[in-house]
Chains A and B, each alone.
Chain A
Amino acid sequence: MSSTPPGAPSPADPMPVGDRRSRILGGGTRVEGRRAVAIALISTAVFFTVLVIVVVNSPGWDEFSAKFLDGEQFLESLPGIGRAFLVNIQLFLIAEAIVLVLALIVAVLRSLPGPVFFPIRFLTAAYTDLFRGIPTVLVIYALGLGAPALQIQGIPTSPFFWAVVSLVLVYTAYVAEVYRAGIESVHESQVAAARSLGLTRWQSTRYVVLPQAIRRIVPPLLNDFLGLQKDTALVALIGVIEAFRQAQIDSSATFNYTPFLACALYFVLITIPLARLIDWLVARDRRRRLAGAR
């Protein structure tokens, strides 16, 4: 395996990708392809019909729908949770902007070659290992409750501030690894070409390595940002009134869980369009390169 370049079919697996795909869908010809689509549609419809029938006829369905799917409660809690969700949006927009820059710096520092930079490589590696290892909720607790408790002059005590710091610390560690994978995926011959033209190490990184690396990491980067956006709900634990906390408040006032459904709706409304946007960006970049036009 080690002698096989990435992307090339290995000797044990000589079937080209196209063949494999048509094999999975169950046939190569056009008629067979149409039949496969029809079968997929029918089996999906049957599956979900059975699922709905089973759930709706379950013994606890009436109680469940009253507690979780109360239309009136839903509409009533929607505006308040929507206002609280603006806090989530602020949280992730600020955190993402900082993470984007900070993670790049960490990744570049970690990629510095040579023995002189060993301490820097060691520190950045230790940081990424540590903060990918600790559950996000513990970081939020430690900083959100711990840091203000120190009562050091000049240290902010606002839960919002520490919420941002916690999310930045955790997600910088993840995103730095994504950047690093991207940097390492750029073949060293690209660096050789850049350096041979007289570009400095930094210029090679800036103009040749990073642009290629960043293009490749857009999808995994987005994945981490979706995670970050969802994790903004965790900062409810240190007293930030955001969408999830608001839903808890609404729910405890009426003993009805429907507000959480409203809360979930806001998160989905934000994350799905973002995912589509990034897909579109990736497709556009590929189109532009293949078309050769600007």
Chain B
Amino acid sequence: MTEAVRIEGLHKSFDELEVLRGIDLTVDDHEVLALIGASGSGKSTLLRCLDLLEEIDRGRVWIEGVEITAPDVDVNAVRRGIAIVFQAFNLFPHMSVLANVTLAPRKVLGLSDDEARERASDLLRRFGLLDKRDDYPDRLSGGQQQRVAIARAMAMGPDLLLLDEVTSALDPVLVAEVLDVIRELAAGGITMVIATHEMGFARDVAHRVAFLEEGRLLEVGTPGQIFSDPREEATRRFLDRIIAAGRM
């Protein structure tokens, strides 16, 4: 198996606050990795660093063999191969659903309007949103908006999909429709790193689970091992809290 992501000694601070304190991690091609951990443990920051949305202070990162921490890296080229979906959707409110999904394929990949529309329509159909393509985002439910955001990300044909707590802002009844879409993508074989609080979902979909606490990766293992037999006391405590909160 080839490596989709290799992270070595990644550090990131915001002013005085050290959010990532030396992360080492690899993700294989076609692997689904779930990042779990309490809020503030650094999950989002790690994902944002991989898409170069945050400047990396120290350490090296390779994506599909290209070092993205190299000083002369083409940031726009790196981002073309990676897509990220945000907790708050971040759809473009002044554009229709179709325009949201076709913008980057047209402007970044140089597709014609027809090609971009066709690609977008295929994705929207897959995600059950074709009838919404002329609507504006504020007319959609949270679940629909998040599925549009996933379609927008997938329209770039990324090698790597990063999902940053994509169901955390959703009404509980809308979570399932988004998770179904992600399950479908996982079955399709795309490499994914998923920051999530949905433990049941992580157990179903992920090949490996990584537990992050206070900016360190405490343990990485199969879902079976992490959820049933965690090595670290901190992982056990975290999972106990999750179970007590009824999230698993």
Contact = CB atoms under 8 A, between A and B. Distances in A.
B95 to A, nearest CB: 8
Given A198-B108, A215-B94, A290 B139 contact: yes
Contacts of B103: 197, 199, 207
A290 to B, nearest CB: 7
Nearest to B162: A196
B50 to A, nearest CB: 10
A290 B82 CA distance: 32
Contacts of A215: 94
A60 interface: no
A197 B108 contact: yes
A291 B139 CA distance: 8
A10 interface: no
B92 A197 contact: no
A253 to B, nearest CB: 55
Nearest to A212: B94
A199 B88 contact: no
A211 B92 CA distance: 10
Contacts of A207: 103, 107
A207 B107 CA distance: 10
A72 to B, nearest CB: 54
A207 to B, nearest CB: 6
User: Secondary structure of the A side of the interface?
Assistant: helix
B53 interface: yes
Contacts of B82: 196
A208 interface: yes
Contact of A197 (B77, B93, B96, B104): B104
A199 B86 contact: no
Interface residues of A, number: 24
B51 A196 contact: yes
A195 interface: yes
Contact of A192 (B90, B93, B135, B152): B90
B83 interface: yes
B100 to A, nearest CB: 9
Interface in B54-110: 76-77, 79-80, 82-84, 86, 88, 90-94, 96, 103-104, 107-108
Contacts of A199: 76, 103-104, 107-108
Contacts of A292: 96, 134-136, 139
A195 B77 CA distance: 11
Contacts of B94: 211-212, 215, 289
Nearest to B134: A294
A90 interface: no
A166 B87 CA distance: 49
Contacts of B171: none
Interface residue range, chain B: 20 to 34
B136 A198 contact: no
Contacts of A200: 76
A199 B88 CA distance: 19
Contact of A289 (B53, B80, B91, B138): B138
B156 A198 contact: yes
B153 interface: yes
B96 A208 contact: no
Interface of A: 189-190, 192-200, 203, 207-208, 211-212, 215, 288-294
30 contacts: A189-B86, A190-B90, A192-B90, A193-B86, A193-B90, A193-B92, A195-B53, A196-B82, A196-B83, A196-B153, A197-B79, A197-B83, A197-B103, A197-B152, A198-B77, A198-B79, A198-B80, A198-B104, A198-B108, A199-B76, A199-B104, A208-B92, A212-B94, A289-B93, A289-B138, A290-B136, A290-B138, A292-B134, A292-B139, A294-B96
Interface of B: 48, 51, 53, 76-77, 79-80, 82-84, 86, 88, 90-94, 96, 103-104, 107-108, 134-136, 138-139, 152-153, 156
Given A192-B48, A196-B53, A212-B94, 17 more contacts: A190-B90, A197-B79, A197-B103, A197-B104, A197-B108, A198-B76, A198-B156, A199-B76, A199-B104, A199-B108, A203-B108, A212-B93, A215-B94, A289-B138, A290-B139, A292-B136, A294-B96
